[in-house]
């Protein structure tokens, strides 16, 4: 529709709308000019691994060594490597719904079976311990935990992280901890699994990257920190599939991890202001129920009040909003979050105001 010149307001983006900070771009450009354009070691260059080790220590209180780090073409690639290294056919992987849909497909690609634990909006999308316990079987090989979460914006309380870690240790399964949104967190603190103790660190693959924190989605740099034997298996696998992540993007990533906190803080503060703006506007629409997200850049309103009549599902509602209001959202069903919409507030304040006003008008017609 945009290509046809139609003025669509998009709340669908999964990426920050800021430019990549200049020092990062400069580092990559300098690397290209200096001829740093050839293959590198498959699991990444040592300087970048050292920068990641330092970042994990400083920001996450996670102790790792160079041989535990595998740099990949985005966190998505790191999670795929984790699944391929960990899973045997028929192994089960627990997912906490609503979840980023890639997880289920990557589990299946590795011949595993996704086992879904549902959460409730009333619980701020935090899983109950009983529901998690009920999902564990002798076939459980791993759980994928994403905090802060895409699509709900939930950030797990420290106690929940501890409870999941205790289950993993008791039942001997792995935690794949997707921490890609760790720096975009509001009014609470991020808790890394691997920081809880050496026992759980030996059962955890911590996944992170540059995409969301530094607005580097197109650079394709992510990383995993895992026990050395697992890191070696992931690195061997990656070696035969993609070889190294792009050489000069790795140089940019070093500059990213060395960026002063202030630069990230400016983006985080702006996202928090936009979160508050979109929340206030959505709460002004009769029928919409929305929880306050604690992280990432998504709100996940419950639109159940508008379903069941002429428009039956969140999929149909998203289509209706696109056609009627010229506003793009993502239906919750995509994330196993039926009856919701995911709206990214990685959009200008002006577009947030314009887009939500259009949604309000279109929903009024349904009522």
Ligand X SMILES: Cc1ncc(COP(=O)(O)O)c(C=O)c1O
Measured CA to CA, the distance from residue 192 to residue 126 in angstroms comes to: 16
Q: 256 or 290, CB closer to ligand X?
A: 256
Q: 100 or 174, CB closer to ligand X?
A: 100
| Cα distances (angstroms) measured from residue 42 to each of 45, 228, 243, 337, 352 | 8, 15, 5, 37, 42
| Closest residue to bound ligand X by CB | 74
Give least dist CB 150 to ligand X, A.
4
Whether the Cβ atoms of residue 348 and residue 338 lie closer than 8 Å to each other: no
Give least dist CB 216 to ligand X, A.
8
* Structure-block tokens of residue 332: 């919750």
Whether the Cβ atoms of residue 111 and residue 290 lie closer than 8 Å to each other: no
Give least dist CB 203 to ligand X, A.
20
Measured CA to CA, the distance from residue 259 to residue 166 in angstroms comes to: 35
Q: 10 or 326, CB closer to ligand X?
A: 10
Q: 196 or 224, CB closer to ligand X?
A: 224
Give least dist CB 262 to ligand X, A.
23
Binding site for ligand X (CB under 6 A): 14, 74-76, 100, 146, 150, 178, 180, 209, 211, 217, 222
Q: 146 or 206, CB closer to ligand X?
A: 146
Element (H, E) at 145: strand 140-146
DSSP 247-312: HHHHHHHHHHHTS-HHHHHHHHHHHHHHHHHHHHHHHTSTT-B-PPP-BTTEE--B-GGG-SSSS-
Give least dist CB 232 to ligand X, A.
22
Q: What's 323's DSSP letter?
A: I
Q: 92 or 178, CB closer to ligand X?
A: 178
Give least dist CB 222 to ligand X, A.
4
């Amino acid at each position: 529709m945009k290509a046809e010149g139609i003025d669509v307001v998009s709340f669908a983006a999964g990426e920050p709308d800021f430019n990549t900070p200049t020092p990062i771009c400069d580092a990559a450009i300098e690397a290209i000019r200096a001829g740093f354009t050839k293959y590198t070691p498959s699991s990444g260059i040592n300087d970048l691994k050292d920068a990641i080790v330092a970042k994990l220590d400083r920001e996450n209180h996670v102790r790792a060594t160079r041989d535990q780090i595998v740099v990949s073409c985005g966190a998505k690639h790191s999670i795929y490597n984790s699944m391929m290294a960990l899973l045997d056919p028929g192994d089960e992987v627990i997912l906490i719904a609503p979840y980023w849909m890639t997880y289920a497909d990557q589990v299946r690609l590795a011949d595993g079976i996704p086992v879904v634990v549902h959460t409730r909006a009333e619980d701020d999308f935090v899983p109950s311990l009983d529901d998690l316990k009920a999902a564990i079987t002798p076939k459980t090989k791993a759980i994928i935990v994403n905090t802060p979460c895409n699509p709900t914006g939930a950030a797990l309380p420290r106690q929940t992280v501890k409870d999941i870690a205790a289950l993993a240790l008791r039942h001997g399964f792995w935690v794949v901890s997707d921490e890609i949104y760790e720096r975009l967190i509001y009014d609470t603190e991020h808790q890394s699994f691997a920081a809880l103790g050496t026992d759980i660190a030996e059962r955890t693959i911590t996944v992170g990257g540059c995409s969301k924190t530094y607005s580097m989605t197109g650079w394709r740099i992510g990383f995993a920190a895992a026990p050395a034997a697992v890191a070696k298996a992931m690195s061997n696998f990656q070696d035969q599939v993609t070889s190294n992540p792009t050489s000069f993007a790795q140089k940019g990533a070093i500059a990213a991890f060395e960026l002063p906190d202030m630069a990230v803080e400016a983006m985080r503060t702006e996202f928090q202001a936009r979160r508050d703006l979109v929340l206030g506007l959505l709460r002004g629409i009769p029928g919409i129920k929305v929880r306050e997200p604690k992280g990432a850049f998504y709100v996940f309103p419950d639109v159940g009040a508008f379903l069941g009549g002429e428009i039956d599902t969140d999929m149909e509602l998203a289509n209706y909003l696109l056609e009627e209001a010229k506003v793009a959202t993502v239906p919750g069903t995509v994330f196993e979050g039926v009856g919701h919409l995911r709206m990214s507030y990685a959009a200008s304040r002006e577009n947030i105001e314009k887009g939500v006003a259009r949604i309000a008008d279109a929903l009024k017609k349904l009522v």
